[in-house]
Structure 1
Amino acid sequence: MKTMFKDLWTDLEASASHRAGPGTARRLVGLNAICPMFIGVRAPAMLRTFILEVPRDSAPLPDIIPVSRGLHFTVQITRDEILPDHASLMLTSSAAAYNEIFASITEDLYNKLHSLTRKKEVIAGFITRVRLWQVFFEKQGDDGLSEEVQRGLYGELRFLKDHVFPSATSLEKAVRAWTGPRSRQHDFQFGSAAVEVKTSASKQHQKLQIASEQQLDETTVEKLYLYYLSVAVIEGGADTLQTLVDDIRAVLSLQLGALAEFDNLLIEAGYLDSHQGKYNSIGYSIREYAVFLVENDFPRIRESDIRLGVGDVKYSISVAQCRNYEVSCSQLSIKISEAC
């Protein structure tokens, strides 16, 4: 996301810092938007805020958006000569530490709302985007994704680009098959077939970490595949998470619906372009990839294997013990093409 409001934030923070008392320094953005939008900085805490002006009788109740980390939502009734009988939907950073992330949230809201032509669509879109960002805060650390999570996301996106896109006839369906960011049981779902992606950076005796007893339980689907990706981590390498994201966006550039869905999924995965400085410091080199079919005596734990009272199961499996279950990528490609 471009930092389109960077200079404006600087000006607003300067104005807010010179206020004699509490208040908000704000500016109108989106001059032609059907619902006026403002960005501002609230003094004295210096919290960034996004304000959407809507008709009072269309305003949602304040509790329609639950409290979450990072964001504070309020509804205020406006009574002035410029916007009579309006309500202000105010989304504010809950602490100054979140101001940088809030800049990305503001630009996302602006980009999604300013071209809409119906006020009800604007309000519904605003609520949808705020809830999406609340999901982001549930998954995201304050300073970006950890190296382990970055590596896992890289593996899922590499599978999407290298295997799903070439096999699919619809890029939008291909993107929607990526279900991992939405906390589904498996990372990808292709009709009755599912794929779990595991990425490893260890050199010898590679083990894959399994997060629950459900991840490799094939009894819930017709076919369950495990896509294994072995990578070398290279400081300053060219093939970074950011470059992979950019490559996928380029593939989707003419498919606006697919591109919008992909960007939504990135947010739900906890990924922000504003953290690209951190993500660009780590590159990857692919050592090997393989596809395993989870069946018969494949080394895994099923949910039915767990005794009553036992939960939150985490375990590891040896890649060497999976070799007897390796199948060709073309077998998986057929399943992808049938669904996408």
Structure 2
Amino acid sequence: MVVLTDTGELEAAWSALAGQKAEKGFLTVALGHSQPRFRGGIVFPEGGETLLVGFNVDTAPAKAELPEGSGFRVETAGEALAPGFGVWVCLIRQAGAGRDLFVQMSADIVAALSATSTKSDSWLLALMLARIRAWQDFMRRPKQDRLSPEEEIGLYGELVFLRESLDAGAVPDIMVHSWAGPRGGLQDFQSDTIGIEVKSTTSVNGFPAQISSLEQLDGLSGRPVLLAGLRLCQQQTGQTLPELADALRARVASSRDLAASMDRALLLAGYDGSAADLYSRRFDLVDVRVFEVNDSFPCLLRSLTDPAIRAAAYEVDLDLVNANVISLPEALTRYGVLSA
């Protein structure tokens, strides 16, 4: 099992450097239990906290390729900070920016890269930049007190799928860390070997599933995709979204890494626990249907679409899909979190 850096290790690294001074450049220390590629630092002369990530690649990304958002900037270091890595990418908190959100973003990047140990450094570099852009998009969203009713049902469905998977015996580490929907993943749950897209509805007449892009159900690079359809009903014996979120957080509370990962995912999904009183609807799960996205499943895929069609969004009625339905345990076995 990979030990992931939580916010405490970042805070410890920055605290260790507190009070030290330099005219220019970075002062850095390794991050606790994390891989050698990760370091916490302070950049001078401004004194901003920094997450530094090393990559064994030949060429540093051009400045135009580096994202920049409100409260942070990204740059490459012009110095060798630790052996084995020729390029260091630095995420720097700017003066006056909110520190708590910067810490969460930094921890999320370390967790994402630590959980993927078989990829090349070029791939990991692209993942880091994509993760920063996801946070950039999150920070640009207009601040809302609560999710829209549609967003509420969508998040509720993803949490129910997580709960049902854990109840079926799924490994918590794998399920929580692979929950990629709030972080902008193509599918809601994805690993190196498979992706699972979750669609939820409270409709009793049909099961409308909104597909947002040609890529969403495409098994790119041969990676299979499953679609899980969850039908919910609204009734007083069910749980509210905050109750479900709190119950799942309690299940992983013994692991700081898992608890922190879930908190970041909820934050990126737009859920604010302080607004719990605004969510009064109670839902129950009626049934779960899992489809393998193959030749018998009706969908539009990037790999089978003429390049002249740049984008498409569409709706599939899962009640009308004439394709094989597999059980949740079988799906989880294919996902690699249950033994066959």
Q: What is the TM-score when the length of structure 1 is the normalising length?
A: 0.61
Q: Which residue of 2 aligns with 1:270?
A: 270
- Mapped to 1, the partners of 2:258 and 2:276 lie a distance apart of 22
Q: Which residue of 2 aligns with 1:155?
A: 157
Q: Which amino acid aligns with 1:208?
A: A
| Partner SS for 1:91 | coil
What SS is found at the alignment partner of 2:239?
coil
Unaligned 5+ segments in structure 2 are 1-14, 20-41, 51-62, 74-92, 107-131
Which residue in 1 is equivalent to 2:316?
317
- Matching residue of 2:187: 186
How many residues are treated as equivalent by the alignment?
Answer: 245
How far has the Cα of 1:227 moved from its partner? Answer: 0.5
Q: Does 1:168 align with 2:170?
A: yes
Contact 2:197–2:227 (8 Å) recurs in 1:
yes
Q: In angstroms, what is the RMSD of aligned CA positions?
A: 3.7
Q: In structure 2, what residue type is equivalent to 1:252?
A: V
Distance of aligned partners of 1:331 and 1:61 in 2 relative to their CA distance in 1, 3 Å threshold:
closer
Change (3 A) 1:200 1:239: same
- Match of 2:198, SS state, is strand
Distance 1:270 1:255 in 2: 23
* Superposed displacement of residue 162, structure 1: 1.2
**Aligned pairs (5 A) from 1:1-40:** none
Task: Find the counterpart in structure 2 of residue 246 from structure 1.
Answer: 246
Task: Name the structure where helix makes up a greater proportion of residues.
Answer: 1
Q: Percent identity?
A: 25
Q: Structure 1's 221 and 141: CA in aligned 2 closer, same or farther, altered over 3 A?
A: farther
Q: Deviations over 1:221-243 (max 9, x none)?
A: 43211100011234x76511111
Q: How does 1:180-259 map to 2 (within 5 A)?
A: 180-234=181-235, 238-259=238-259
Is 2:228–2:290's contact at 8 Å kept on the other side of the alignment? Answer: yes
What displacement does 1:58 show?
6.2
Are the aligned partners of 1:135 and 1:268 in contact in 2 as well (CA < 8 Å)?
no
TM-score, L = length of structure 2: 0.61
Change (3 A) 1:227 1:112: closer
Q: CA deviation at 1:219?
A: 4.7
Distance 2:303 2:246 in 1: 41
Query: Which stretches in structure 1 are left out of the alignment for 5+ residues?
Result: 1-32, 37-53, 74-87, 93-104, 114-129
Which letter does structure 2 place at the counterpart of 1:311? Answer: R
Query: How much has 1:144 moved relative to structure 2?
Result: 2.7
Q: Which residue of 2 aligns with 1:142?
A: 144
Which amino acid counterpart does residue 184 of structure 2 have in structure 1?
A: S
Supply the distance in 2 between the matched residues of 1:132 and 1:254 (Cα, whole angstroms): 28
Q: How much does 1:319 deviate?
A: 1.3
8 Å Cα contact 1:167/1:334 also seen in 2: no
**Residue 211 of structure 2 contacts residue 316 of structure 2 at CA under 8 Å; is this kept in 1?**
yes
> Counterparts of 1:189 and 1:138 in 2: how far apart (Å)?
25
